[in-house]
């Protein structure tokens, strides 16, 4: 083992029941022209895996990581990333069979959208996103009751809650398959993160910050994946490693005491959609079951256990040496 836009042409026939529903909705709930034009501009942009802010993201290092892997990891065909975060590193290896894992469900469901080989209907996803973007719900829901005028405006909270509930109901009824659900939730999470009244995470919101930006979902475009055997997991890395076999084990563990479950509790809440009670200024849910040992004094022992139980030809590690910079 080596370490090393909303565009609807009313003149043409509806392509589906979903498009018919969209047209009826718009007719009953007309939007101001300026808002409609803004939505068209945003919808026309495709959503890519790297279009998200994330603490410790390696998006700017993927070229260097690929260079290192190409140079030192000969003959590798299976790439596993057990602290995958947004998944940008795994996406840099489309020629390999990919295995991703993250303890946060909000990352895991995005991995399902980006990497799973499951067949899905792009048209269905796109049309539902158009319906969601046109929605202006007036009824309060879990999101508006608990988060109005904090990270998002009350109107955006009502919209987020309406969309997330609709996705879940369609999934439970069988109208959406696993990947279609993941695609829609991913689009919602990315749209939320783009307009959130934060500095990039959800430990706190900015008092007096701008809450006027519209929530606009975009259609995800998964990265190229040439292998049909990709797998995604939502587990503790040290538990998963005991039954995982791969050629390249990529490790990018947390490197300070800041728990990702604290930084991204709101996205995690929306992704899981269990509607738990929340408390405090930042409106956090109970997160005990998604805390990472790698953000505690037990990090060294956890890492030693991970390496000892790894079954891989190569281990590629990225780690930020905080040294005397604090935790």
Q: Is there a domain that residue 136 lies in? A: yes
Taking a C-beta distance cutoff of 8 angstroms, is the pair 180, 235 a contact? no
Minimum mean pLDDT among 141-145, 184-188, 195-199: which range? 195-199
Minimum mean pLDDT among 32-36, 41-45, 227-231, 282-286: which range? 32-36
The whole-number pLDDT of residue 185 equals 98
Cα–Cα distance between 178 and 238 in angstroms, integer? 26
Q: Is there a domain that residue 14 lies in? A: no
**pLDDT surpassing 60 at residue 43:** no
The whole-number pLDDT of residue 322 equals 61
Rounded to the nearest 10°, the torsion over CA 241, 115, 113, 65 is 80
Rounded to the nearest 10°, the torsion over CA 113, 189, 139, 9 is -60
CB-neighbour burial class of residue 12 (10 A; exposed 0-12, middle 13-18, buried 19+) = exposed
Q: pTM for the complete prediction?
A: 0.86
Taking a C-beta distance cutoff of 8 angstroms, is the pair 160, 152 a contact? yes
The whole-number pLDDT of residue 38 equals 47
In total, how many domains does the chain have?
1
Higher pLDDT, 18 or 62: 62
Q: Is there a domain that residue 217 lies in? A: yes
Q: Is there a domain that residue 132 lies in? A: yes
- Distance set, CA 153 to CA 38, 161, 272 (Å): 18, 12, 21
Pure H helices in the chain: 17-28, 33-43, 62-72, 88-91, 105-115, 122-134, 142-147, 154-172, 178-195, 237-240, 260-263, 265-272, 299-308
pLDDT confidence bin for 21, thresholds 50/70/90: low
- Distance set, CA 260 to CA 126, 149, 185, 214 (Å): 30, 23, 19, 26
Looking at the chain, the whole-number percentage of residues with pLDDT higher than 90 is 78
Higher pLDDT, 33 or 49: 49
Residues spanned by the domain of 307: 2-9+29-50+58-325
Q: Is there a domain that residue 17 lies in? A: no
The whole-number pLDDT of residue 304 equals 97
219-253 as b/e: b if 16+ CB within 10 A? bbebbebebeebbbbbebbbebbeebebbbbbbbb
- Distance set, CA 308 to CA 100, 312, 316, 320 (Å): 20, 11, 15, 21
Q: Is there a domain that residue 236 lies in? A: yes
């Amino acid at each position: 083992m080596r370490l090393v836009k909303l565009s609807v042409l009313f003149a043409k026939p509806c392509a589906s029941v979903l498009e018919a529903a969209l047209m009826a909705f718009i007719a009953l709930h007309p939007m101001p022209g300026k808002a409609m034009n803004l939505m068209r501009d945003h919808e026309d942009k495709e959503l890519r895996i790297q279009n998200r802010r994330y603490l410790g993201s390696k998006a700017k290092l993927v070229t260097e990581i690929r260079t290192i892997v190409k140079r030192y990891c000969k003959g590798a065909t299976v790439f596993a990333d057990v602290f995958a975060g947004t998944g940008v590193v795994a996406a840099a290896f489309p020629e390999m069979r990919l295995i991703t894992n993250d303890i946060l469900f909000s990352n895991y469901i995005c991995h399902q959208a980006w990497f799973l080989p499951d067949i899905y209907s792009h048209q269905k996803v796109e049309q539902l996103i158009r319906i969601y973007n046109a929605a202006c719900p007036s009824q309060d829901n879990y999101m508006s009751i608990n988060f109005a005028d904090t990270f998002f405006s009350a109107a955006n909270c009502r919209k987020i809650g309406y969309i997330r509930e609709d996705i879940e109901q369609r999934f439970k009824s069988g109208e959406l398959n696993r990947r279609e659900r993941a695609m829609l939730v991913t689009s919602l999470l990315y749209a939320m993160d783009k307009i959130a009244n934060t500095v990039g995470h959800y430990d706190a919101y900015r008092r007096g910050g701008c809450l006027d930006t519209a929530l606009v979902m975009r259609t995800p475009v998964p990265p190229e994946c040439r292998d049909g055997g990709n797998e995604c997991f939502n587990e503790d890395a040290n538990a998963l490693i005991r039954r995982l076999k791969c050629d390249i084990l990529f490790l990018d563990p947390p490197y300070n005491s800041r728990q990702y479950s604290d930084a991204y509790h709101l996205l995690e809440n929306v992704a899981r959609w269990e509607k738990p009670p929340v408390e405090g200024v930042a409106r956090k849910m109970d997160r005990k079951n998604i805390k990472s040992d790698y953000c505690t004094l037990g990090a060294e022992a956890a890492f030693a256990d991970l390496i000892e139980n790894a079954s891989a030809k190569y281990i590629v590690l990225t780690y930020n040496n905080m040294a005397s910079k604090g935790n």
